[in-house]
Amino acid sequence: MTDIYHFEAGTAPLLISIPHLGSQIPEPLRPAMTALALRSGDTDWHLDRLYAFARGLGASFLWARYSRYVVDLNRPPNDDDLYPGQAKTGLCPTHTFHGEPLYLDARDSIPDTERDARRQAYWQPYHDKLRAEIDRLKSQHGKVLLWEAHSIASVIPRLFEGKLPDLNIGTANGAACGPALEAAIRRELEQGQYTWAINGRFKGGYITRHYGAPQDNIHAIQLEMCQSTYMDETYPYAWRDEPAERAGAAVERLVRSACAQL
């Protein structure tokens, strides 16, 4: 057992990864952080609940317990920029998505030694488990679908213009999954009721890009969905039953379509 992440082993070649579900802030960091930071507002709230249907598909689950404000599990360990030319949200953020300081001293960076310590303590265990489960499923089934589950506020001027499409699929421009899987997702989106994009503003973060290897039958797909589809986007970030039921059904259809194509 570990308090770094939650893990459930499934029986199907499907792994649901939710790296930004965590909202905990370690006690040693809390005195230096703002009240806003302690709310962990940029968390991908409630996705464990939204994706509960996947247990019926035999999925494995891996999700974080600690906030992305501590360390962002979907960023490269060397903190390279995933989206050059756009506002960066790094390995150890110092500001919220909206640009508000996370630390009382309004720092713009985290010292290298502290960043490395956080990477070793929180980032590495998650990725070690992710790699191990992908390898287990590949060994057992000969193929794996890694589904990266994310959500975000629908309007964040610092990161993108206007409102995001409701459902944003990222496959690293097709490099992270086979074309047949992406085509199956596209067909499902075209039949749905939500606005959508494939490899638009969100092309897939580090996990999608790093672990997706369709040539080895390891297919990674990221879904970044607007939180407005299933919850309140303002504190206290409440779940909304009726919208969440519709959004959850749409996400289930996407996952099922990808699994069927796999």
Confidence bin at 81 (pLDDT 50/70/90): confident
Residues in CB range of 202: below 8 A, 6 or more apart: 150, 168, 170, 222, 224
Distance separating alpha carbons of residues 218 and 89, to the nearest angstrom: 27
Q: Residue 146: what pLDDT?
A: 99
3-state secondary structure of 235: coil
Summarised one tens digit per residue, pLDDT across range 148-184 is: 999 999 999 999 999 999 999 999 999 999 999 999 9
Cis peptide before 243 (omega within 30 of 0): no
All structural domains of the chain, each given as residue ranges with its CATH number in brackets, are: 5-260 (3.40.630.40)
Q: What percent of the chain has pLDDT over 70?
A: 100
Burial class (CB in 10 A: 0-12, 13-18, 19+), 171: buried
pTM: 0.96
Distance separating alpha carbons of residues 139 and 160, to the nearest angstrom: 40
Summarised one tens digit per residue, pLDDT across range 39-67 is: 999 999 999 999 999 999 999 999 999 99
Q: What average pLDDT does the segment 83-102 reach? A: 90
Summarised one tens digit per residue, pLDDT across range 115-141 is: 999 999 999 999 999 999 999 999 999
Residues in CB range of 206: below 8 A, 6 or more apart: 74, 75, 76, 82
